[in-house]
A and B are shown apart, each in its own frame.
Chain A
Amino acid sequence: MDKDLLQLHRLLDGGLSPEDEKDILQKIEADPRLQREFDGLVSVINLLEAGERLPVDAAFSSEVMKRLPARNEPLGKKIRGFLFGERVLRWNVASFVAVSAVLLVITVSGLFYQSSGKSYRVADSVVPGSAVKTVSLSFNAPEAKAVSLAGDFNKWSVEAGAMKRKSDGTWTIEVPLKPGVYHYMFVVDGEGWVSDPRAESYRDDGFGNKNAILRIDSI
């Protein structure tokens, strides 16, 4: 690359002293070959810098957050990860017995955590004419120290939807939501992501768990 061409690039990068800049601009004016080089490079840079950025879809961030590895996982969470994490199983009789035992434990745990009935109710807005509904959700977890509601309506924040404990061990929260379909989970003690056992429907979250589906009708 000859000296003049190097100076052209430095000029385009804004890295020349005023004297050098004046010098190369004069050369460009006087030399058609240099003028063509300069025009070509300006076109290339314009083309590059006119390129628009692709937008990122709304689920990008929440998917990253759900895939973050846990730090210093407690034993309970490790067990849960072992039970619910996706893996290839090679079956034999011993595996069958072990899995049956695990399923039994999960069933009993589910009964312990939650009684039957719908986990949420929808009330009309307190603001007449507003489309927003107040949705009350509840989750029974008497031994939990904290429970929160995380969903796509609060960007899956573990802290934003802190639930209140009632004397019977039921945790409740009211959230204002517009009509629509929402995905959510309960977060027990800040770490354990639990599907709502009383949701009307579920959808795989792509990470081995199921999001509960909450549908708020407009009427």
Chain B
Amino acid sequence: MTIQEEEYSIIEECRRGASEVYAVLVERYQEMIYNVAYRMIGDSEAARDIAQESFIAAYTALKDFRYGSKFSTWLCSIVMNRCRDYLRSQKQMVPLDGISELVAKGPNPEVILSDKQTARDLHSALKAMPEDYRQVIVLKHFEDLDYREMEAILGVSANALKVKTYRAREWLKKYIEKGHGQDG
């Protein structure tokens, strides 16, 4: 039995009311969903709440799950939607003025990126990044999904997502180049 077949069987049991088997899916994907939420919103406590609520929302909506798709992909689309809602409710505005200015100036040829950039640099870069760029970066580079899976999660064509990912990388490169050495 493949993992997908096993998951379909678990979903079927849950639909019949055997909720306890859902724990298998929670334990399998809890780390992925928590980390997606954390990368998206940058707050570990709120990410934990959103991740838990996403599992509960998925369970409640299991009747809408379409066989043929991957449970993890479907779950990821739920957590992404919740992150978007959270960010909007928090009115967590990105300091776009400063960043746009930096990006508009273009890359600084004197600065070569270092692999020793700290997690703090990355964290602040993600927080500053526009939300639609952050979505593709999280899915493509943190969760290692392919463009087809991202298409299913975000409801945007794979080709459009490729272009968005390229732009997001360029944005991040310019951000880090400009910020390199300034934070100490």
Contact = CB atoms under 8 A, between A and B. Distances in A.
Contacts of B38: 54
Interface stretch (B65-73, B76-84, B86-94, B112-120): B112-120
Contact of B20 (A1, A36, A57, A158): A158
B167 A60 contact: no
A207 B107 CA distance: 52
A21 B115 CA distance: 24
Nearest to A150: B20
Interface string A42-63: 0111111111111111001101
B10 to A, nearest CB: 13
Interface stretch (A68-76, A84-92, A115-123, A132-140): A68-76
Contact of B119 (A1, A9, A51): A51
A interface, how many residues as a size bin?
A: 35 or more
Nearest to A70: B19
Given A43-B115, A69-B59, 12 more contacts: A9-B169, A40-B107, A40-B112, A43-B113, A47-B115, A48-B137, A50-B115, A51-B119, A65-B22, A68-B59, A71-B19, A155-B23
11 contacts: A1-B170, A9-B166, A13-B165, A36-B112, A43-B117, A44-B172, A45-B141, A53-B142, A57-B48, A65-B23, A158-B20
A6 interface: yes
B52 A60 contact: yes
Interface of B: 17, 19-20, 22-23, 26-27, 30-31, 34-35, 38, 44, 48, 51-52, 55-56, 59-60, 107, 109, 112-115, 117, 119, 121-122, 137, 141-142, 162-163, 165-167, 169-170, 172-173, 176-177
A186 B34 CA distance: 30
Interface in A110-162: 155, 157-159
Nearest to B114: A43
A3 interface: no
B19 A54 contact: no
A60 B48 contact: yes
